Structure 1
C-alpha cells in the first residue's frame, strides 16, 4: 500500500512541494536573526528615505526575506493543485516545527558547555596572530551560540502569527480571484494574493515583535513596515516568471488530465 501511495504522482508532488515549503520557512526563521544591507550587498549607496517622519531609512533587512518569496510561491502552487486544506496542513505543520525548533534551541542554550568547547575554535597550532584574530572575532563559542539562536520570544511570536495570518489571507484571496477569473491570469491570483498577504505580514510581525515587545513607536513600525513591503512587492513581481516556470514543469509532470482534476478538486475544497 505504501509503495502504491508513493507511486502516485499527485502524492509525490505534494511531498516534494511540502518538503521545500517547510524547509524554506524553517530556514528563514533560523537565519532571520541576521540583518543585512541590500544596498551594500549590491554595491550601491544606501537610500536615504524619509517615511512617516522617520529619516535615514534604507533597505536593512532580515536575511529571512531571501527565502520568504519562495515560501509564498510554493503557497500559491500548493494552493493551485491541493487547495486550502493542503496549504493549511503545511502551514500548521511548519508553525509547529518552528516552535519545536526554538524549544530545542532554548534547551541547548541552557545546557552547560564542556570546558574546552567555548575556545575550541582557537587551535594552539595556529600562529599567535591568527589566534588573536579569532579571539577578537569570537572570544566565546557559547556566547555566540546564545546570541545567534536565542531570539526573543516576542520576535518568535510575531513571526509565527504573521506567517499563519499571511497564509490564511493568501489562500482566501487566491481562491476568490480564481473564482472570478477561472484558469486565466495565473499571475493575478498568485502575485495578487502574495502582495495582499505580504502587506499584512510586513506590519503584523513588526507590531507584535517591536511595538508590543520592544516599545517601538507606531510611527517607526509603520515606516520600517513600508520599507520591508517595498522589497517584498518587488520580489513578488520578480518571482512571477518563476511561478509560470514551475507551473509549466508541474503540468508536464502530472499530465493535462491529472493536473486538471487536481485543480478542480482544489477549487471545490476551498468552499
Structure 2
C-alpha cells in the first residue's frame, strides 16, 4: 500500500489532534495563575494543547473539508471515551500492599485518585462540550469560507474559534468545577480562559497562514474550494509524488 502525501498528512494531523485532545483532558485538573497587572487570571493547564488543536482543526477543514473534519471529531470523541474507561478501570484495580508502607516513595492511592479522579471529571466535562463546540467550529468555518468565496482565511480561522470556544469554555468549566470550586472562581476561570483563547486565536493567525503555505507549496496539496452548495469542488492530488522507498 502506497500512502500519498495527502493521506500521510491526514494521519499526522489526526494523530496530533487526538493526542492534544486527550492530553489536555488528563492534565486539566491543574490550575495556575497569571498575573496581568491588578488582574489575577486563574486557568487550567489544559489550555496548553489549545493552540495545537486550533491550528489542526483549521488545517483539516481547509485541506480536507468539513466531512473529514467531522470524522476526526468523532474519532477524537471515541478516543476520549476510551481514555475515560481505561482511567476508570485503572482506579478500580487494588493497590499492592507495599504501596501502603510508610517508607514507600512512589505514587500512593490517595495521590493517584486525587489526580486521575479529577481527570475523569474533566474528561466527562470535555466530552459534554466537545462535540457541540467542535461541530459548531466546523460549520462556522465552512460558512465563512463559502460566504467569502474561499477568501479571508484569517476571518474563518478566528471567527469559528470565537464562537465555538465560548460554548466549549462555559460548558467544560461548569461541569468540571461545579461543587468543587466556588461559583465566583468558576466564572473567573471561564472569563480568563476565554479571554486567553481569543488572544491566542488572534496571535496564531500568522501561523495559520504559515501552515497553509507549507502544506500548499511544500507538499503540493491544494486547499478545498467550496461551491455554492457548500460542498468541495476540488480535491486535488499532490502535484508530484515520490513516496520513500520501502526499507529492505
Q: What secondary structure, in the 3-state scheme, does the structure 2 residue paired with 1:259 have?
A: coil
Q: CA shift at 1:220, angstroms?
A: 5.6
Residue in structure 2 matched with residue 53 of structure 1 by the alignment: none
Residue in structure 2 matched with residue 130 of structure 1 by the alignment: none
1:150 equivalent to 2:112? Answer no
Aligned equivalents of 1:121 and 1:263: distance in 2?
A: 64
Q: Using a 3 Å threshold, how does the CA distance of structure 1 residues 268 and 120 change in structure 2: closer, same or farther?
A: farther
Match of 2:67 among 74, 78, 85: 85
How many residue pairs get aligned? The number is 232
Residue in structure 1 matched with residue 147 of structure 2 by the alignment: 180
The normalised TM-score by structure 1 is 0.76
Q: Using a 3 Å threshold, how does the CA distance of structure 1 residues 83 and 239 change in structure 2: closer, same or farther?
A: same
Aligned equivalents of 1:160 and 1:68: distance in 2?
A: 15
Q: Is the 8 A contact 1:47 1:59 kept in 2?
A: no
1:250 equivalent to 2:215? Answer yes
Residue in structure 2 matched with residue 196 of structure 1 by the alignment: 163
Match of 2:96 among 104, 114, 117: 114
Larger Rg computed on CA atoms:
1
Any runs of at least 4 consecutive aligned residues in structure 1 with deviations exceeding 6 A, and if so which? none
Residue in structure 2 matched with residue 167 of structure 1 by the alignment: 134
Q: CA shift at 1:85, angstroms?
A: 1.4
Residue in structure 1 matched with residue 203 of structure 2 by the alignment: 238
Consecutive unaligned residues of structure 1, counting only runs of 5 or more, are 40-45, 50-57, 123-133
Aligned equivalents of 2:100 and 2:204: distance in 1?
A: 42
Q: Using a 3 Å threshold, how does the CA distance of structure 1 residues 75 and 216 change in structure 2: closer, same or farther?
A: same
Q: What secondary structure, in the 3-state scheme, does the structure 2 residue paired with 1:151 have?
A: helix
Q: Using a 3 Å threshold, how does the CA distance of structure 1 residues 121 and 94 change in structure 2: closer, same or farther?
A: farther
Aligned equivalents of 1:83 and 1:185: distance in 2?
A: 16
Residue in structure 2 matched with residue 74 of structure 1 by the alignment: 56
Cα RMSD of the aligned pairs, angstroms, is: 2.7
Q: Using a 3 Å threshold, how does the CA distance of structure 1 residues 182 and 47 change in structure 2: closer, same or farther?
A: same
1:17 equivalent to 2:13? Answer yes
Residue in structure 2 matched with residue 126 of structure 1 by the alignment: none
Aligned equivalents of 2:50 and 2:214: distance in 1?
A: 21
